[in-house]
């Protein structure tokens, strides 16, 4: 199924002005649009319901940043450090995370549509009770990531490290993990039905079920 999942890329204007994230405080609706932010250190910001659209972040570091219920639309994060950023209950649409550090980043109860995670480091990231539709994780390390109670629609994990990821109470029907690596995976076997796995992964799951696999 993985080749059939088409994820729309962010729609970014050809020409963007240089900007600063702190310019968002100059707008009464806390809106930031049509700019490129490069090399900025964003620290100690707590902002509810911010709106960010048609923005490119390059080499930006977020520290102690809390952005619950943010609306991110047509945004690219390239080589950014978003570790421990709180995107709780955010709306994240046509967004690309390229070569980003997402250690402990919180997407709890967020809605993600047409989102790509490429070559990221996202250990201990949280997608608890999130809704993911047409989302691709490509070459991303997701050790100990938490997807408890998530809803997946046309979601693909390609060449990812899923060791110790938590998919408890998460239906995996149609989710492709066949090219991923893991030694342990936390799942409910009654919600594993329809998950796309490799032959070796199928043997591993069969052994966990107590079946004796004769090779």
Residue-level pLDDT at 37: 98
Summarised one tens digit per residue, pLDDT across range 35-45 is 999 999 999 99
Residue-level pLDDT at 210: 59
Q: Going along the chain, which residue ranges are E strands?
A: 17-18, 31-38, 41-46, 51-58, 61-66, 71-78, 91-98, 111-118, 131-138, 151-158, 165-166, 185-186
- What is the distance between the alpha carbons of residues 17 and 61, in angstroms, rounded to a whole number? 19
- What is the distance between the alpha carbons of residues 53 and 101, in angstroms, rounded to a whole number? 21
CATH of domain 2-208: 2.160.20.80
Give me the residues paired with residue 78 across strands: 58, 98
Sequence ranges of the domains in the chain? 2-208
Segments of the chain with pLDDT less than 70: 1-3, 207-215
Residue-level pLDDT at 214: 60
Summarised one tens digit per residue, pLDDT across range 61-88 is 999 999 999 999 999 999 999 999 999 9
Residue-level pLDDT at 160: 97
Joined tokens for residue 45: 């910001």
Residue-level pLDDT at 158: 96
């Amino acid at each position: 199924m993985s080749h059939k999942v088409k994820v729309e890329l962010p729609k970014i204007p050809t020409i963007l002005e240089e900007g600063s994230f702190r310019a968002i405080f100059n707008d009464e609706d806390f809106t930031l649009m049509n700019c490129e932010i490069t090399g900025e250190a964003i620290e100690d910001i707590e902002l509810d319901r911010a709106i960010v659209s048609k923005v490119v972040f390059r080499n930006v570091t977020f520290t102690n940043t809390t952005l619950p219920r943010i609306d991110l639309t047509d945004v690219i994060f390239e080589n950014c450090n978003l570790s421990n950023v709180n995107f709780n209950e955010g709306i994240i649409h046509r967004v690309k995370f390229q070569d980003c550090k997402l250690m402990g980043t919180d997407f709890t109860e967020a809605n993600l549509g047409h989102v790509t995670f490429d070559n990221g480091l996202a250990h201990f990231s949280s997608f608890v009770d999130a809704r993911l539709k047409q989302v691709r994780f490509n070459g991303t390390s997701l050790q100990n990531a938490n997807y408890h109670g998530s809803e997946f629609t046309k979601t693909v994990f390609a060449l990812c490290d899923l060791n110790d990821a938590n998919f408890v109470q998460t239906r995996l029907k149609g989710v492709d993990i066949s090219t991923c690596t893991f030694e342990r995976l936390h799942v409910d076997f009654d919600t594993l039905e329809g998950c796309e796995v490799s032959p070796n992964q199928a043997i591993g799951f069969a052994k966990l079920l107590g079946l004796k696999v004769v090779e």
